Amino acid sequence: MRVRWQTGRMADRSPRISDYGAIGDCRTMALVSREGSIDWWCQPRFDSPSIFARILDPKRGGSFGVEADGLRAAGRRYLPHTGVLETRLSARGGELTVTDFAALEARDAGGTPAPFARQKLVRLLRCTSGRVELVLRLRARPAYGTVTRPRLTLVGPPEARRRTLELHAAGRTIDLAATRDWDTIRAGDATLTLDLAAGDEVGVAVDYGPGDLAGEGIEHGDGHHSEPVTLDLLHDWLDGTVAFWERWAAMNTYDGPYRDLVERSAITLKLLTYHPSGAVVAAGTTSLPETIGGERNWDYRFTWLRDASFTLFSLNTIGYRAETDAFMRWLTRVCSDDPDPLVLYRVDGTTANRERTLPHLAGHRGSRPVRIGNGAAWQRQLDIYGEVLDAAYLDARGGGNVADDEWHLFAALADLALARWRRADTSIWEVRGGHRHFTYSKVMCWVALDRAIRVARILDREQGERERVARWRSEAAEIRRTVMRRGRRADGAFTQSFGTDVVDASALVFPLVGFIHGDAPSATATLHAVEAELSDASGLIQRYRADEEVEGVRGREGAFLICSFWLCDNFALRGELDRARARFEELTATANDLGLFSEEWDAVSGEMLGNVPQAFTHIGLISSAHNLQRAERHAIRGPVRQDAPRD
């Protein structure tokens, strides 16, 4: 993906999901529209209440935007190798560039650049040609829009220039310091009216904490800025942020033909990590719909053990080991008091909020309800044991330092898989229509036992755990026999659950985790069944055919993009490289112009669907690029070796 300006107009319509770019500091995330409006931001953490939520309600959500006569989007890009976003706008009389970033500084942590967060959201506006008259308008609506007129005050003597604007809401104080003075405060809104000639620049720093030196900075008092906000200072922060991202991006070991795409996905996944704890969130947003106008709207700002493990697996394949180590430490802490982990947690390791709806918000383009919290936290999802242990095995195989308490956790998770695999559950897709014997969950319990055995071997613990390992090996064989007997239909394709003929795209994972050989009859039958029964109008893959009885929720959904990447992986595994490459390049076209992916894709409208940026899809891209490169190298040297059985 070459870095270049992308052009387009918003016209008179509500922003689409694809209209947004993401910035963040590995603690929180903001979304910026094509027209330079910050329409989503929760602080000080991903899972905190929003300050701006226009993406979920144009009237009540709040935003921090640019207004000018004839304003239109002229282009945007990320600065190369960074998470710093540039948006180019044109207006009557000239053009300007808006540079948005969350200020970071690289701190060395064992040779790895760690993101020190200043807890400052920075906007730099520079007139690049002509003359532009504009208004920078703050419409903060804290607590998911329930505070419609927040208290705003100016701090400093009346005669002082560039007084700081304070926003008071929900027991917190947020400072907004600009290099020009705020001119209007009315009904909870504030404006900065500007007349910029070519070369003129204005900056604003939104200060939401004292920085990492003071911990997470949940509470702070007045006057956080230890020095006046000047353009020189803001550019110093910009330089530090760019330096961090450049150093981090340079650690990427992928050297194949899709390096730009892989790098952008890696940076996006890093943006979704919560550095203070090591947790990884599934997405940066809540309630962006899987169908426009539908009710499949979920809060993804939490750490799913499954999604985090997939994230770390993909990052590990391209050289990022520190993130895996940090997550495993987080998981060990989470499970220190309760060795029976939940499906998902808040980023600090506490239990996720109870799911509830926000009826006062209209939803993205009328898609209701808007939900916060996620009821899936208390579901039984047996597949999580396998996903965590698969990531642990990759780390151990690569020479990762597995501490004693981590080994005890891995062994305990394997024991849970051994004890529970015969139970029904809700599985990877978190259905709300009741428990079933999902084939995917059975296979991932097999993965848990298989990887625990392998990790024991790597750590030289087989002798000390001889009886335990023997039980794991025996039960893994029993799981495989059961799945092969009860989890396939007459044509040999794996089914969604025992006793049905319904096919599910999650079965594409089975060859990828070594449960079955990639060209085994059952793998081939499953591949053909998924293509025939789950392809949409564009050839992308749906998870399964929507079934209200199984799901417990109404409506349809789009193509689930990670499933199409799994299809690409299967082609690569089978040596069908032309089909794999074609599929991969079709999938990359579903990203927006910045290289960001959502969860799903609507082939009819050509629109992104679901929360964004979505870790699952960026995981799929990295893994498929890696698998394609690996398969192409083996195509020169000989067939890919697989230890998995052929039915």
Domain ranges in the chain are 17-218+226-249, 259-637
Question: Residue 555 — pLDDT band, cuts 50, 70, 90?
Answer: low
Q: What is the mean pLDDT of residues 331-348?
A: 90
Q: Is the pLDDT of residue 11 over 50?
A: no
Q: What is the mean pLDDT of residues 170-177?
A: 88
Of the candidate ranges 15-29, 160-174, 259-273, the one whose mean pLDDT is the lowest: 160-174
Which one-letter DSSP state was computed for residue 163? P
Question: Residue 339 — pLDDT band, cuts 50, 70, 90?
Answer: confident
Q: What is the mean pLDDT of residues 320-334?
A: 93
**Which residue in 179, 196, 154 sits closest to 230, CA to CA?**
179
C-alpha to C-alpha distances, 496 to 286, 439, 441, 529, nearest whole angstrom: 27, 6, 10, 12
Predicted pLDDT of residue 338: 78
Q: Is the pLDDT of residue 212 over 70?
A: yes
Alpha-carbon span 257 to 162, nearest angstrom: 49
Place of tokens 């997550």: 327
Q: What is the mean pLDDT of residues 438-447?
A: 98
Residues 290-319 have pLDDT tens digits of 999 999 999 999 999 999 999 999 999 999
Alpha-carbon span 358 to 408, nearest angstrom: 41
Predicted pLDDT of residue 221: 41
Q: What is the mean pLDDT of residues 517-535?
A: 97
Q: What percent of the chain has pLDDT over 90?
A: 84
Residues in the chain: 647
Question: Residue 158 — pLDDT band, cuts 50, 70, 90?
Answer: low
Predicted pLDDT of residue 204: 97
Q: Among the CATH numbers 1.25.40.10, 3.40.190.290, 1.50.10.10, 3.30.420.40, which is that of 259-637? A: 1.50.10.10
Q: Is the pLDDT of residue 470 over 50?
A: yes
SS3 208: coil
Predicted pLDDT of residue 354: 94
Alpha-carbon span 195 to 208, nearest angstrom: 28
Q: At what angle do helices 259-271 and 231-249 cross, to 10 degrees?
A: 120
**Which residue in 577, 594, 591, 601 sits closest to 621, CA to CA?**
591
Q: Is the pLDDT of residue 2 over 80?
A: no
Identical fold at 17-218+226-249 and 259-637?
no
Question: Residue 4 — pLDDT band, cuts 50, 70, 90?
Answer: very low
- H or E element in which residue 90 lies: strand 85-91
Question: Residue 440 — pLDDT band, cuts 50, 70, 90?
Answer: very high
Q: What is the mean pLDDT of residues 396-411?
A: 92
Predicted pLDDT of residue 552: 66
Which one-letter DSSP state was computed for residue 352? P
- Domain 17-218+226-249, classified CATH 3.40.50, yes or no: no
